[in-house]
Structure 1
Amino acid sequence: MAYNLFIAYDLNEPGQKYEAVRDAIKKLGQWHQFQYSLFYVNTIYSPNEAYAAIQRLIDANDSLVVIDAKGGIVSTGDKPLIAAINQIWFAP
């Protein structure tokens, strides 16, 4: 089963390990970084599994959100890129 996940995080001082967190997110599957700390990922990993893979890298005072998006469409931004994301999103 594939999941469409939105992953967002805030890394507070000390120990802001941005590269490690981004690398962990990118390893989950096909991804797009919408904003500095907001990613879309199409993955075989459940929200709980994705959360656990990233959570082990962050500090107790950081925040992490993993949202399983059951439906939606992205319609702003670079049109060729958005078309590619929508194709992944709606794939069987």
Structure 2
Amino acid sequence: MAYNLFIAYDLNSPGQNYDAVRDAIKDLGQWHQFQFSLFYVNTQLSPAEAFAVVNATMDINDKLAVINAEGGVVSTWDHPPIDAINAIWTQG
């Protein structure tokens, strides 16, 4: 089963290993970065499994949210690949 997840995070001092967190998110499956700390990911991992993968790269004082989005449509801003994102979203 494929999941459409939104993943948001805050990395607090000390630490803030943004590259490790972003790489963990990108490794989950097809992805798009909407904002600095907000990603959409289409993955075979459940929300809890995705949380565990990303959380393993974070410090104890960081914050992480993994949200299962069963449906939705996104509009254009900052020129994301809208058609590709909407196609991934609806294939599941």
Q: Normalization by structure 2: what TM-score?
A: 0.95
Instruction: Identify unmatched segments of 5+ residues in structure 2.
Output: none
Counterpart residue identity of residue 4, structure 2: N
Shift of 1:76: 2.1
Counterpart residue identity of residue 9, structure 1: Y
Superposed counterparts of 1:1-92, under 5 Å: 1-77=1-77, 78=79, 81-92=81-92
Q: Which moved more, 1:55-64 or 1:1-10?
A: 55-64
Counterpart residue identity of residue 83, structure 1: D
Regions of 4+ moved over 3 Å: none
Instruction: Identify unmatched segments of 5+ residues in structure 1.
Output: none
Shift of 1:24: 0.3
Q: Percent identity among equivalent residues? A: 67
Shift of 1:68: 0.2
Counterpart residue identity of residue 11, structure 2: L
Q: Normalization by structure 1: what TM-score?
A: 0.95
How many residues were matched structurally? 91
